[in-house]
Structure formats: C-alpha cells, structure tokens
A and B are shown apart, each in its own frame.
Chain A
Amino acid sequence: NAGVMQNPRHLVRRRGQEARLRCSPMKGHSHVYWYRQLPEEGLKFMVYLQKENIIDESGMPKERFSAEFPKEGPSILRIQQVVRGDSAAYFCASSPSGEKLFFGSGTQLSVL
C-alpha cells in the first residue's frame, strides 16, 4: 500500500504565477488535510477536505488560496499570484477515519 503521494517535490515559481500542488491519499482514505510549514516554524493547518467537500478551511488565507478534492483524482492545493511569503513546505496528510493522519513527503515551494 503506497503512502501519501505528493507532487511535485519541488516547485519553483516567479511572483505572480500560479502554483498547483497535488496530493494522492493512501488507498481507502477519504479524509485529506493540507498543512504549511515555514522555515523554523511548526506545521500550520490550512484545510480539511473529504471527497467533493471542504469540511474546515479555517486555516486557509482568504485570498489566492483554494483547495479541492474531486470525486476522481488527487486533491489539489492552488495558490494564485504567488508572493515570496508563500515560499514554504506544503504537506498533505490523509486519514481513513479522520483520526490518525499519515503525511506525505511534502512539496517545497520556492517563489523567486
């Protein structure tokens, strides 16, 4: 059983471009979470989704950020018009029941 798969591992964008981060949960997991980790800081919750539904987006910035988890395919975290402050490691986690979370290896976003 493959773990949580995130791609790309590294993503470089120029200011103003769009970033799309993908997350394929573990087989049988219907709960997906996105976290952001800034350098020398802890993991900060962004959003919690189940298939086709956003359950909790209280940690998501109000502008430029969006997330989806469609019926088919991976979960996508989308950042429009990136700024340098968006540079961070973005981690996806999945869970079969909304209890124990299993994390992917993350996507390191660098904004030039």
Chain B
Amino acid sequence: EDQVTQSPEALRLQEGESSSLNCSYTVSGLRGLFWYRQDPGKGPEFLFTLYSAGEEKEKERLKATLTKKESFLHITAPKPEDSATYLCAVQETSGSRLTFGEGTQLTVNP
C-alpha cells in the first residue's frame, strides 16, 4: 500500500526566511509525485509533477526536487501570501488515483 508522510506538520517562517518541506513516500512503482497548495475552504491547486529521481521544477519562489524515497519543496524568501497547506501525493504506475500525505501547514509572518 502506498504511503506518504509529510514533515513538519506545521511550519512558521518570517517573511524572507527560506526553508524546505519534506515528503517521504513508499510506492511499488512511481508514475508521478505531485505537489498541491490548499488554501482554507478551497480545493487543492496543482503546483508540480515530478516523474523521476533527480528531476527539479521551479515556479516563482518554489522549487520541487525528487529522489527515490522523498521529495522536497523548497521555499525561497517566502511572502505572507505563500501561507497555505502544501500537499504531496503519489501516483502509482498501475493506477490513476493520487494518495495524499497529511500536508504541511505553512504560515509566513510579515
């Protein structure tokens, strides 16, 4: 059974203070690893898909990386508007559904 563990559960940063979120996963065959952002009362918003170890993707202040066992979401010089819950999910080669972690709740203080 697929397992996804995210850490930390919650993270508070000062504006401009860079940090990383971790996503550890266990899957029989990885089709893709996904990062989503979720704001309160809203559905998850797609950020990135990573397909193979060593792959990196960037969008504004966010960069996602992937190894065979984990993924990191690096946040560089965050702003208060980056405050949200960040969700990691894996998709198996044999299926289509996503298995999500519990998320990291990020708060960026001005």
- Chain A contact residues, CB within 8 Å of chain B: 4, 31, 33, 35, 41-45, 48, 55-56, 59, 91, 93, 95, 98-106
Q: Is the CB of B46 within 8 A of A45?
A: no
Known: A43-B87, A45-B99. A103 touches B43 (CB 8 A): yes
Of B11-19, B53-61, B90-98, the stretch lying at the interface with chain A is B90-98
Q: Determine whether B102 belongs to the interface, using a CB cutoff of 8 Å to chain A.
A: yes
Looking at chain B's contact residues, the main secondary structure is strand
- Which of the residues A35, A44, A48 comes within 8 Å of B96, measured between beta carbons? A48
Q: Is the CB of B49 within 8 A of A105?
A: no
- Which of the residues B45, B96, B101, B102 comes within 8 Å of A98, measured between beta carbons? B96
Q: Is the CB of B44 within 8 A of A100?
A: no
B45 to chain A minimum Cβ distance, whole angstroms, is 7
Q: Is the CB of A45 within 8 A of B96?
A: no
Q: Determine whether B42 belongs to the interface, using a CB cutoff of 8 Å to chain A.
A: yes
Q: Determine whether B100 belongs to the interface, using a CB cutoff of 8 Å to chain A.
A: yes
- Which of the residues B89, B97, B102 comes within 8 Å of A56, measured between beta carbons? B97
Residues of chain A contacted by B102 (CB below 8 angstroms): 41-42
Report 16 cross-chain contacts, Cβ distance below 8 Å, ordered by A residue. A33-B96, A33-B98, A41-B102, A42-B87, A42-B100, A42-B101, A43-B44, A44-B100, A95-B96, A99-B31, A99-B32, A100-B46, A103-B44, A104-B43, A105-B43, A106-B42
Residues of chain A contacted by B103 (CB below 8 angstroms): 42
Which B56-84 residues sit within 8 Å CB-CB of chain A? none
Q: Sorted from nearest, which 9 A-B pairs have the closest CB atoms?
A: A103-B43, A98-B96, A42-B102, A43-B100, A103-B44, A45-B97, A42-B100, A105-B43, A104-B43
Q: Is the CB of A99 within 8 A of B96?
A: yes
- Which of the residues B41, B46, B97 comes within 8 Å of A33, measured between beta carbons? B97
